[in-house]
Amino acid sequence: GADAAMMSRSVPLEKVMDDAIVALYQNGERLRPSNGYPMRLFLPGWEGNACVKWLRTIKVLDQPAMTRDETSKYSDLQSDGVSKLFSFPMGVKSVITSPSPGLSMQGPGIYQVSGIAWSGTSKIRCVEISADGGATWADAALDEHVLPKCLTRFRSAWNWNGGPATILSRATDQDGRVQPTRAVALEGRSRAAFYHYNGIQAWRVGADGEVSNVYA
């Protein structure tokens, strides 16, 4: 990329020949500078840092370039001190955006729990919601248009009784992959690692209606 950091990533030829895009336009207009004008690499299902902005050079090599941006950065440090490189497709994940920290609930009543889910390999098949810390789960409604490797919106009605609660969402994709619990997602990883984390996120709702991060 033409940015000051010269963002550089290796992309397997298989991905390039599958669905990689060199994008010139977005939403019917030329890319805006903040989105990578004049052109940007777009890799459906892969994390944003691999979709290099302000693209200026493409090289064909017979091996990974092993750049800083894929070795010391965007790699997965394991508990034994060894880094796992080249984690490409995004894991299945969901997050509740409302209610969430920064928002507050105004007394008992029926609220809409909503958020987004995604998978780097396929469509979202279902999203489940729990309002009791994961003891029980119920299916949320998905938006009508569910597309592969795209954000999918979900929503569910929740009758809050005004007491403390912990709300979570759990996504499953059409490949059968289920969003893992926090403990499973962190298994084998260094506590200093944070890239590619897709564990279930829990929000705490206090009796005063304030929403906070359970893990903060």
Residue 59, domain member (yes or no): yes
Range of the domain at 22: 13-74
Same domain, 109 and 199: yes
Q: Is the pLDDT of residue 4 over 90?
A: no
Q: What is the CATH number of the domain that holds 102?
A: 2.60.40.650
Q: What is the number of domains present in the chain?
A: 2
State the Cα–Cα distance between residues 118 and 44, nearest whole angstrom. 11
Closest CA to 201 of 187, 181, 186: 181
Residue 141's pLDDT band (cuts 50, 70, 90) = very high
In a shared domain, residues 196 and 157: yes
* Last residue within a domain, chosen from 74, 101, 118: 74
Binned at pLDDT 50, 70 and 90, residue 3 comes out as confident
Stated pTM of the model:
0.90
Q: Would you say residue 69 lies in a domain?
A: yes
- pLDDT(1) > 80: no
* pLDDT tens, residue by residue, 167-178: 999 999 999 999
Whether 82 is in a domain gets the answer no
**129 and 160 assigned to the same domain:** yes
